[in-house]
Amino acid sequence: MILALGTGRSGTSDVARILEEQGVMMGHRFHMGDEFNPRGYFEDRDFQELNMMYVMLGLGENPKGDQLKLWLDRFNKLINTRQEPWGLKDPGIADFPELLDHYMKLNPKVILCERNREDTVASFIRMKFKGGMTREKAEHIYDNRTKNIKKALKEYLTIDCYDINKEYKIATWLKKHQKSHT
């Protein structure tokens, strides 16, 4: 499994698209592109619904045995439908350290998508007319997700949002990791 992590508005969609083009199955049902991501978001709706279930059940704040078991059963069923190489991109995972921990237990190969704080915050704010946010909220999301991701990660490939060589770097990284598993 390959996990494309970032704060949102940090290049995760572009990295997920590149992974898909390199033969990594990123999902079956995606959000369509729009003016903010014309090529699409490459967020697997099945995983997003599962992650939203985690949040709706309040598992990050107050996990209850039966609720956690229900979620873990659905999580494992969904994971078991995937065949290598497969990947996942959902920046919202980084909002909840406990949720991120469930994914990290799968020992994913991680690509960390980074973009400088000010550009990311400005991008969140530009989306205001589409449910965007205030500067304070955007800064909080960026800071919280960055903190949670860095805390969870040990080894990863970093891709800068503006890196013009990211397709080459990702392809080279994929080849290296495919060879190490054969």
Helix H or strand E encompassing 167:
helix 166-179
The pTM of the full predicted model, rounded to 2 decimals, is 0.90
Burial pattern 22-45, b for ≥16 Cβ within 10 A else e, equals bebbbbeebeeeeeebeebbbbbe
Say yes or no to pLDDT of 182 above 60.
Answer: no
Does residue 182 sit within a domain? Answer: no
pLDDT in tens, 69-128: 999 999 999 999 999 999 999 999 999 999 999 999 999 999 999 999 999 999 999 886
d(CA 117, CA 146): 10
Give the domain range for residue 141.
2-176
Q: Look over the chain and give the mean of its residue pLDDT values, rounded to a whole number.
A: 91
- CATH number, domain of 120, equals 3.40.50.300
Helix 45-56 × helix 65-80 angle, to 10°: 170
Q: Is residue 181 part of a domain?
A: no
Q: Is residue 45 part of a domain?
A: yes
pLDDT digits (tens, 9 = 90+) for 37-62: 899 999 999 999 999 999 888 876 66
The number of folded domains in the chain is 1
User: At residue 65, does pLDDT exceed 80?
Assistant: no
What mean pLDDT comes out for the span 122-139? 83
Rounded CA-CA distance 14/6 in Å is 11
Asked if residue 91 is part of any domain, the answer here is yes
Question: According to the model, what pLDDT value does residue 130 have?
Answer: 65
Reported confidence tier of residue 19, pLDDT bands at 50, 70, 90: very high
32 pLDDT band, cuts 50/70/90, is confident
Residue 71 lies in a domain: yes
Residue range 148-173, pLDDT digits in tens: 999 999 889 999 999 999 999 999 99
| Distance from C-alpha of 60 to C-alpha of 43, rounded to nearest angstrom | 21
Q: Evaluate if residue 36 carries a pLDDT over 90.
A: no
Instruction: Report DSSP state, residue 92.
Output: G
137 within some domain: yes
CA nearest 78: which of 49, 56, 100, 107? 49
The Cα 165–Cα 179 span in angstroms is: 22
Beta-carbon count within 10 A of 99 CB: 22
Asked if residue 152 is part of any domain, the answer here is yes
- What residue type is assigned to position 148 of the chain? N
Q: For residue 23, is it within any domain?
A: yes
Return d(Cα 40, Cα 14) in angstroms, integer.
8
